[in-house]
Structure 1
Amino acid sequence: MNLDLSHYWRQQIEALPVPDTPFNLLNVCGGHERSITQAGLRSTLPHWLNLIPGPGCPVCVCPEIDIALAIAMAHQTKTILASFGDMLRVPINTLQTKNFFPKKIRSLALAKASGLDVRPIASPIDAKNIALQNPTKTVVFFAAGFETTMAPVAALVQESLHGTLPGNLQFLISGRRTWPAVHALLTDDRSTSIDGMIAPGHVATVMGTHEWQKISRAHQLPTAIAGFENESLLHAFYCVLQQSHLNHPQVDNCYTQVVKPEGNRTARAILLRAFAIKTSQWRGIGAIPDSGFTLRSHFNDINARVYFSDVHTHISDVYAHAPRLKGCQCADVVMARCRPNQCTLYAKTCTPREPIGPCMVSDEGACRIWWANGMPSQTAASTRPA
């Protein structure tokens, strides 16, 4: 961290004219929210600048039905379920009133504790290695994530075309695209009115600045792409505020070290070769057009939804008739309708040890980030907006 640059950009922000009303600045990336909160930036910036967390956590928006499906697949004979580590503790709540799974298994972690072969992994190559080491078992790779994560998953998928993928490896894909969710947030009447946006640095590395010009042009919204150090974030805050002051919305790139206008063309091409784009469900939010990745039909032989079609049909039918959990406001947090500490469950019945919603699980979940950094519940919080 460059303290001189951080100090400089704070001074530049403080020198800007004070707006007539509070300025609501949305940060899309969970990594940005973690950097902002850990550094205590909210307490050091002008009182009129509200930093609002948004839909930047892929674990938080993974549909509950997909987690239930992963648990059901883990129950199948001679099956290993592999998933990125932060997915293991995400709870399902909808099926609990029906006692659908033995011992009230609410997560993949509890499925593992019950004796099922569930394995946390750090990269797609780990799933391939598990399949190579267990040739007599079916290995299901449950892959959730945004564009950055899904690009290496797509590369692994395409190994099936070259005969280098183990024949016992199946894919349960639950990948999502970022900008359609931001568009949905900005057109949601229930969301907080947003005056500017910090676009996600990692996603922009793959998709480029052009992806975020769609948002800037469609919504006339001042936007900047930021890295994860304080100086990059503060620079991006200043750029957005300056755009607003000049009434000249555009996309400023404050992460030029890795983000280029065209992004990573190779990664984008790999994504498009492996995945089709479809309308997809986001947990608690509903269907968002063109927001999800699904395996293209010529990869049906490695599509776990096809391989375990009876399991997929059964879980889908159960979810179609199951009651929904009331009280959890993770979807409202993701869609900027409320702050984490405004949820009535936050830090009370919902904690990282006993999470009710997904936002309290992942390191990129706003509730988990706020809780880990001592942000109090709303009853004890400062009256200053978050």
Structure 2
Amino acid sequence: MSLGAAELLERIRALDLPEKVRIMNVCGGHERSITQAGLRNALPPAIELIPGPGCPVCVCPEEDVYQAIQLAMNEDLTLATFGDMLRVPVNVRKTEIRSLEQAKAAGADVVPVASPQEIVALARANPDRRVVFFAAGFETTTAPVAAMMAQGVPDNLLLLLSGRLTWPAVSMLLNSGEVGFDALIAPGHVGTVMGPEEWEFVVEDHNVPAAIAGFDSDSLLAAIYSVLRQLQSGKPALDNCYTRVVQSGGNPTARRFLSQVMEVTDATWRGIGTIPASGFSLRDVYAAHDARKLLPDYGDDARRRVGEMPAGCDCAQVVLGRIYPDQCRIFGAACTPRTPVGPCMVSDEGACRIWWSSGKRTRVEQAAE
């Protein structure tokens, strides 16, 4: 029988812990659950839970958002995207359109959607108009997009894809020589699609304890307890604490659609740079629906060099787990959900937005170096 949250907390508090244990939780959904449940305050002070690179909106390249804005403003088409992407800002002068939300307000045909099915229905309802689906997301979002393409879409539907894989970012951190965590909580939703095996490298290649967790307090605390015991024993292992959903091999249908429709390529992560084999692109057989091949490219080399975080914004450091959200220089001052400067304050999976929404409203003064 699985243990409940109260008993797991008792067992964690009974452990003989070192002065500091840093546990990175990769997933934005995990960060939301941890913060809303108040787990940081409930755990012993020696345990630091560090938000990681699990927000696809936060790492979507600035040049991709810029391209979507320019397509919506300058081409005769409908631009559809998931709701979070509408407010992500790009680095332009204040007098220019800096988000899809502003483009919509200026008259562009921009439509927020919640699922690929809505996109297909929109395209079928407007057969004489091009509909571009700007799709940013990790494996759990990209798999339904791949299924949509594999099952057939109307001729007028084009895809502007900005899909990313989760594990390469963690691999980059572990190989960077600046590892800021002692153990890892891996994302349950990605494990559901791709299988737990994708995270075995954390243990096998880096000797770092890891556990896969779901999104309730019981599963998260079980994963935290697991990695703490692994650290104590000196025997790292990958522990699946979300077995009711995450199964060996993942979802074979979703993986088949991903393999059929997508190729894995090197990809840019906003504020981080290029991570090898971390992105998805459409295979050539789907070229007739690839917006990157069929529509003008508005992102010149200068735009790609600009494609970092805005001045003063420390979103990249938050995403990499090097600082907490309230240690950003503009958190709660220039940057709030009403006036977001960086993408981490936009998305419901962005750590800055999560912290703000849970009552953390001002930045902390960092100790002097």
Structure 1 length-normalised TM:
0.91
Identify the residue that residue 60 of structure 2 maps to in structure 1: 62
Q: CA deviation at 1:317?
A: 3.6
Q: CA deviation at 1:135?
A: 1.1
* Comparing 169-178 and 180-189, the one that deviates more: 180-189
Give, as a single letter, the amino acid of the residue that structure 1 aligns with 2:320.
M
Paired residues in the alignment total 365
Q: Which string of whole-angstrom CA distances, capped at 9 and with x for unpartnered residues, describes residues 227-285 of structure 1?
A: 11111111110000001101111111111110012111111111011100011000000
Identity over aligned residues, as a percent? 51
Q: Distance in 2 between matches of 1:166 and 1:86?
A: 25
Q: Secondary structure of the equivalent of 1:344?
A: coil
Q: CA deviation at 1:75?
A: 2.0
2:30 aligned with 1:32: yes
1:175 pairs, out of 160, 163, 174, with 163
Identify the residue that residue 264 of structure 1 maps to in structure 2: 251
Q: Distance in 1 between matches of 2:241 and 2:157?
A: 40
Identify the residue that residue 197 of structure 1 maps to in structure 2: 184
How is 1:224-235 mapped onto 2 (pairs within 5 angstroms)?
A: 224-235=211-222
Unmatched tracts of structure 2, length 5 or more: none
Q: Secondary structure of the equivalent of 1:17?
A: coil
Give, as a single letter, the amino acid of the residue that structure 1 aligns with 2:340.
P
Query: Are the aligned partners of 2:270 and 2:307 in contact in 1 as well (CA < 8 Å)?
Result: no
CA RMSD in angstroms comes to 1.7
Q: Which string of whole-angstrom CA distances, capped at 9 and with x for unpartnered residues, describes residues 142-171 of structure 1?
A: 0010001100100111134xxxx2110000
Query: Are the aligned partners of 2:332 and 2:363 in contact in 1 as well (CA < 8 Å)?
Result: no
Q: Distance in 1 between matches of 2:347 and 2:355?
A: 12
Q: Secondary structure of the equivalent of 1:182?
A: helix
1:374 pairs, out of 356, 359, 363, with 359
2:87 pairs, out of 86, 89, 108, with 89
How is 1:1-386 mapped onto 2 (pairs within 5 angstroms)?
A: 5-19=4-18, 21-93=19-91, 96-97=92-93, 104-160=96-152, 165-190=153-178, 192=180, 194-308=181-295, 311-312=296-297, 314-320=298-304, 322=306, 325-379=310-364
Q: Which string of whole-angstrom CA distances, capped at 9 and with x for unpartnered residues, describes residues 162-215 of structure 1?
A: xxx2110000000000000111122234552x1101000100001111111122
Give, as a single letter, the amino acid of the residue that structure 1 aligns with 2:220.
L
Give the 3 Å change call, closer, same or farther, for CA 377–327 of structure 1 in structure 2: same
Q: Which string of whole-angstrom CA distances, capped at 9 and with x for unpartnered residues, describes residues 359-386 of structure 1?
A: 00000000000011112434379x9xxx
Unmatched tracts of structure 1, length 5 or more: none
Structure 2 length-normalised TM:
0.95
Q: Secondary structure of the equivalent of 1:173?
A: strand
Query: Are the aligned partners of 1:191 and 1:337 in contact in 2 as well (CA < 8 Å)?
Result: no
Give, as a single letter, the amino acid of the residue that structure 1 aligns with 2:331.
Y
Q: Distance in 1 between matches of 2:306 and 2:114?
A: 33
Give, as a single letter, the amino acid of the residue that structure 2 aligns with 1:268.
R
Q: Secondary structure of the equivalent of 2:229?
A: helix
Q: Secondary structure of the equivalent of 2:195?
A: helix
* Comparing 280-289 and 70-79, the one that deviates more: 70-79
Q: Distance in 1 between matches of 2:258 and 2:236?
A: 30
Query: Are the aligned partners of 2:135 and 2:160 in contact in 1 as well (CA < 8 Å)?
Result: yes
Q: CA deviation at 1:321?
A: 5.9
Give the 3 Å change call, closer, same or farther, for CA 321–47 of structure 1 in structure 2: closer
Query: Are the aligned partners of 2:194 and 2:251 in contact in 1 as well (CA < 8 Å)?
Result: yes
Give the 3 Å change call, closer, same or farther, for CA 191–356 of structure 1 in structure 2: farther
Q: Distance in 1 between matches of 2:82 and 2:292?
A: 18
